Structure 1
Amino acid sequence: MTVEHPPLRDEIVPSPVVESEVVFDGAVWDVRRETFDLEGERLVREVVDHPGAVAVLALDEEDRALLIRQYRHPISSHEWEIPAGLLDVAGEDPLLAAQRELAEEADVVAEHWAVLVDYFSSPGGLNEALRIYLARGLTAVPDGELHERRGEEAHILHHRAPLDEVVDAVLAGHVHNSTLVIGVLAAHRMREDGWTSLRPADSPWPQHPTNRRH
């Protein structure tokens, strides 16, 4: 007997919200308590409201990934990452935000851009959606145009590592940043197929937070 399974594609189907209130108004994100109906059952959940984010896996002509290391206080760690940032500028195009973050955090710009992968970071309690871009054709930002980094970003370290070496570090459990892990594994797999799975840099993003608000 053949069992029919739904297609492997997420569906955006908001459940009717009966009540919604902000119970914590934070500096970066808020916490909402929502009451909603799901198939005849009324549920209450707290949701961390997040503006969404973009990240960039930048590869140079030798297929080395441009990595940054910075301190992350919630996990008390100096963590290896790829350049990333919040979509906290109203109306800013995600691609432009990614290009800005690459220049500000990594001091480089890129000629070629494509969508690598999209994902939700923690959908059980956080509505953050992230898009990771692949950037190629790297050149340095001129000295007179370098961004002045502050806070944790002022202590960023830069490193270029072969993509295979970064994948090995992921599989060995040596690096743990989710965006880095997802980005390099996706890139490694796509490279095997000649990058045929890449999407155009301006591809629709229905999971973007502004497209899901109700």
Structure 2
Amino acid sequence: MPIADRPESWPVGSSEDLHRDGWVVALRSDQVRLPGADGNGKGAPFRRLVVEHPGAAIVLAIDEDGRVPCLQQYRHPAQISFVELPAGLCDEPGEDALEVAKRELREEVELAADEWVHLASVWASPGISAEQHHLYLARGLTPASRGDFALHAEEAEMEVFRAPFDELYAAVLDGRIADAPIALALLLARAKGLA
């Protein structure tokens, strides 16, 4: 048998919305049963909380000097101002992740790219969330207007800067940068020989 994830779906006896307000995420409680449970005490239903999330695209852009456009952005749940890459939610169901990546690069750091490479699509925390991250490498950077997009909330206070790839990579390895998407993007780009 090959070593690989495989699609699978276990029966859900009931599902209850615990929070749903039409914004980005929702929280529900599912009563899940083991496949083939016979109802005689074997495989009794168990509760699992599920955070519904539309997914996100993350962009590791590298300029001609080997520098990476980054953000320093406050994240309230962790109460940390993280070094991050341009990223954003897949706002619409079925929205193409590459198009989201292009939009976020433009809106957050006012850049466009000529070359795009899909690094990976990974699940952020599959034990509780349906959030998937689509990681891209972008090259051939040129200035681009964010158009009528207005920065708000945490974005309005984020700092934009460029850092050498090797310095960011070292900061991930020694724990100074702990945001999972930037760490994974840097490690993947280096492992694939792309940076």
Q: TM-score, normalised by structure 1?
A: 0.82
- Please list, as runs of the form range in 1=range in 2, the aligned pairs for 1:79-98 lying within 5 A after superposition: 79-98=82-101
Quick one: which amino acid aligns to residue 23 of structure 1? L
Cα displacement (A) at 1:67: 0.9
Aligned partner of residue 74 in structure 1, secondary structure: coil
Cα displacement (A) at 1:181: 0.6
| 2:26 aligned residue | 30
Aligned partner of residue 191 in structure 2, secondary structure: helix
Q: Is the contact made by 1:107 and 1:146 (CA closer than 8 Å) also made in structure 2?
A: no
Q: Is the contact made by 1:67 and 1:80 (CA closer than 8 Å) also made in structure 2?
A: yes
| 2:133 aligned residue | 130
Aligned equivalents of 1:146, 1:92: Cα separation in 2: 20
Quick one: which amino acid aligns to residue 56 of structure 1? V
| 1:186 aligned residue | 188
Quick one: which of 166, 171, 180 aligns to 2:168? 166
Q: CA, structure 1 residues 91+118, in 2 after alignment: closer, same or farther (shift >3 Å)? A: closer
Aligned partner of residue 175 in structure 2, secondary structure: coil
Cα displacement (A) at 1:146: 6.8
| 1:105 aligned residue | 108
Cα displacement (A) at 1:148: 2.5
Quick one: which amino acid aligns to residue 165 of structure 1? E
Q: Is the contact made by 2:54 and 2:93 (CA closer than 8 Å) also made in structure 1?
A: no
Q: Is the contact made by 1:104 and 1:146 (CA closer than 8 Å) also made in structure 2?
A: no
Aligned equivalents of 1:38, 1:102: Cα separation in 2: 43
> How many aligned positions are there?
187
Q: What per-residue deviation string (whole Å, max 9, x for no partner) do you get for residues 101-137 of structure 1?
A: 1100111011111101111111111111111011110
Question: Hey, which bits of structure 1, 4+ residues long, moved more than 6 A?
Answer: none
Q: Is the contact made by 2:54 and 2:91 (CA closer than 8 Å) also made in structure 1?
A: yes
Q: TM-score, normalised by structure 2?
A: 0.89
For structure 2, which runs of at least 5 residues remain unmatched after alignment?
Answer: 38-42
Quick one: which amino acid aligns to residue 149 of structure 1? L
Q: Is the contact made by 1:116 and 1:186 (CA closer than 8 Å) also made in structure 2?
A: yes
Cα displacement (A) at 1:178: 0.5
| 2:3 aligned residue | 8
Aligned equivalents of 1:166, 1:25: Cα separation in 2: 37
- Please list, as runs of the form range in 1=range in 2, the aligned pairs for 1:137-152 lying within 5 A after superposition: 137-142=140-145, 145=147, 147-152=149-154
Quick one: which of 46, 56, 65 aligns to 1:43? 46
Cα displacement (A) at 1:161: 1.5
Q: CA, structure 1 residues 90+127, in 2 after alignment: closer, same or farther (shift >3 Å)? A: closer
Cα displacement (A) at 1:28: 2.5
| 1:177 aligned residue | 179
Alignment root-mean-square deviation, CA:
1.7
